[in-house]
Structure 1
Amino acid sequence: MKTSLTLLLFLCCAFAFAQADKDVASQVEKLRLALIDPTIANLSEVSSINLSYGHSSGKLENQAQFIEALVTGASDFATVTFENQTIKVEKDVAIVRHTLAADVLDGGKSNAIKIGVILVWQKEKGQWKLLARQAYKLP
């Protein structure tokens, strides 16, 4: 009987972690799509009001600056893919790592970039929100 309860508890926990990974992955995909087709609504939906958004250049933005840069076209992504993504969930925090490959439009010219990214997501009122992002140059 004790073994059955232990197994049941293990299976419940495994299911909960798998669901959390799936929920975070869904939010990451919403972020990817919002980078390509940004609106105030879709960027606000995935990001925390306390967002700290770091670029590979060292530039830091808060949520309002992050949204403004994308909506106004100051940051203009034609395409974005996330490669080699990993997700680690611990309670109400998730760490996502991936390589971002994108075509960025700059003055009408397309510029291909490939950078490393770490994302920190936190569950806020039942919804995963991007709390922090730091990009870095790949070797």
Structure 2
Amino acid sequence: MIKKIIFTISFLLAFVVFGQKKNDKDVVADAAEKLRLAMVSGDKAMLESLILPELTYGHSGGHIDDATEFVEKLVSKKSDFVTIDITNQTVNIVGNTAIVRHHFYATTADLGKAPGDVTLDIVLVWVKTGKNWKLLARQAVKSEKKK
């Protein structure tokens, strides 16, 4: 009888531990990571799956891309990220909106040019649509070099 109780408790505990859903902060962080990977790969389908059609994507130099321009630049390698490293990321959720801030350090080779370095601070605004989080806005500002 004791073995059955221990087995039942163990089974229930395992179900609770492994059956838990990720919290929204973790899901948003996962979406931000998928975006990072898609920006490096230039994967059009992945990029489009992560953004809203109303996307506004602000560059540190002042130019603002819409969703179509954002995707086209990455797919065509007009904006070519060889690497992107993200540090100091925070995720804050208010209702169905998430604000993600992080430090962004990248190596670029835009249109085959010699590699360049980009060091930025980024704010991303994600919106929960159904079960998914989609990028609505991004703004970059120049920051100090990575140490």
TM-score after normalising by structure 1: 0.85
SS in 1 for 2:61: coil
Residues 14-65 of structure 1: CA distance to partner in whole angstroms, max 9, x if unpaired? x98x700000000000000001101220001111111000000100011100
Structure 2 unmatched runs, 5+: 1-19
**Counterparts of residues 25-44 of structure 1 (less than 5 Å):** 25-44=29-48
Distance between the aligned counterparts of 1:57 and 1:76, measured in 2? 17
Is the strand fraction higher in 1 or 2?
1
Structure 1 unmatched runs, 5+: 1-14
Distance between the aligned counterparts of 2:40 and 2:104, measured in 1? 13
Q: Does 2:142 match 1:137?
A: yes
Distance between the aligned counterparts of 1:137 and 1:116, measured in 2? 6
Distance between the aligned counterparts of 2:107 and 2:45, measured in 1? 23
Who is 1:98 aligned against?
102
Q: How many percent of aligned residue pairs carry the same amino acid? A: 39
Distance between the aligned counterparts of 1:80 and 1:49, measured in 2? 24
Give the drift of 1:110.
0.7
Max radius of gyration: which structure?
2
**Counterparts of residues 119-138 of structure 1 (less than 5 Å):** 119-138=124-143
Question: Runs of 4 or more off by more than 2 Å in structure 1?
Answer: none
